[in-house]
């Protein structure tokens, strides 16, 4: 089966929609239990999504105000980059080849910048899941442009250029 068709079929079968950071997603769970954060905001106790990245695309650098657990499901290995508030850059590989250093899940702590892309392979895409706790809310989502991120982390400008889109 053609890999582009396969990604398209998965997008259709799972009812995925375009995500603002890139790729395709669908929320699959939102807890009805609510939690009150230290600052008084209320959030769902947890949420989860399917998330598909076709090769040649990326999840733009962003951060959320909650812990996010990435789960590998299917396709090409995923390269997940993180930048801590102190500027420490790490690369994590999600996949099934444990002997090659890949892991089936990784947790990005609250407030850490993150970006991702499917690694080149014959699969043509990566399908993962993301579980967020406390639950995801777009009010807690930040995705600044190149200039703002470059000002924060000038030592990582090449990575920032690779994982952000042109500013309008």
Q: Is the pLDDT of residue 123 over 90?
A: no
pLDDT for residue 6: 86
Distance CA 151, CA 160 (A): 10
Instruction: List the strands of the sheet with 141-142, edge to edge.
Output: 89-94, 78-83, 113-118, 59-64, 141-142
**Each residue of 81-93: pLDDT tens digit?**
999 999 999 999 9
| 3 band by pLDDT with thresholds 50, 70 and 90 | very low
Nearest to 22 by CA among 126, 155, 137: 126
Distance CA 91, CA 5 (A): 29
Q: How far apart are the first and last CA of the chain?
A: 38
The pTM score is 0.92
Q: State the average pLDDT over residues 92-115.
A: 97
Q: Is the pLDDT of residue 1 over 60?
A: no
Q: Is the pLDDT of residue 117 over 60?
A: yes
Helix, strand, coil percent values for the chain (each to nearest 5): 20, 45, 35
Q: Is the pLDDT of residue 115 over 80?
A: yes
Q: Is the pLDDT of residue 17 over 80?
A: yes
Q: Is the pLDDT of residue 168 over 50?
A: no
CATH level 3 topology of 3-162: Jelly Rolls (2.60.120)
Q: Which of 1-5, 142-146, 159-163 has the lowest mean pLDDT?
A: 1-5
Q: Where are the domains of the chain?
A: 3-162
Q: State the average pLDDT over residues 109-133.
A: 93
Distance CA 96, CA 4 (A): 21
Query: What percent of the chain has a predicted confidence (pLDDT) above 70?
Result: 95
**Each residue of 52-62: pLDDT tens digit?**
999 999 999 99
Please give the DSSP secondary-structure letter assigned to residue 103: B
| 159 band by pLDDT with thresholds 50, 70 and 90 | very high
């Amino acid at each position: 089966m053609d890999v582009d068709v396969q990604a398209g079929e998965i997008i259709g079968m799972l009812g995925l929609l375009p995500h603002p950071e890139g790729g395709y997603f669908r929320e699959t769970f939102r807890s009805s239990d609510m939690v009150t954060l230290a600052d008084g905001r209320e959030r769902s106790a947890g949420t989860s999504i399917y998330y598909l990245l076709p090769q040649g695309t990326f999840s733009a650098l962003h951060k959320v105000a909650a812990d996010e657990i990435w789960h590998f499901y299917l396709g090409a290995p995923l390269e997940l980059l993180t930048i801590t508030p102190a500027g420490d850059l790490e690369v994590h590989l999600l996949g099934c080849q444990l002997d090659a250093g890949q892991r089936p899940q990784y947790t990005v702590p609250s407030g850490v910048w993150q970006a991702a892309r499917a690694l080149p392979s014959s699969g043509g895409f990566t399908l993962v899941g993301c579980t967020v706790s406390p639950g995801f809310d777009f009010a807690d989502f930040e995705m600044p442009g190149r200039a703002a991120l470059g000002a924060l982390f000038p030592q990582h400008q090449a990575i920032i250029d690779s994982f952000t889109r042109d500013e309008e």
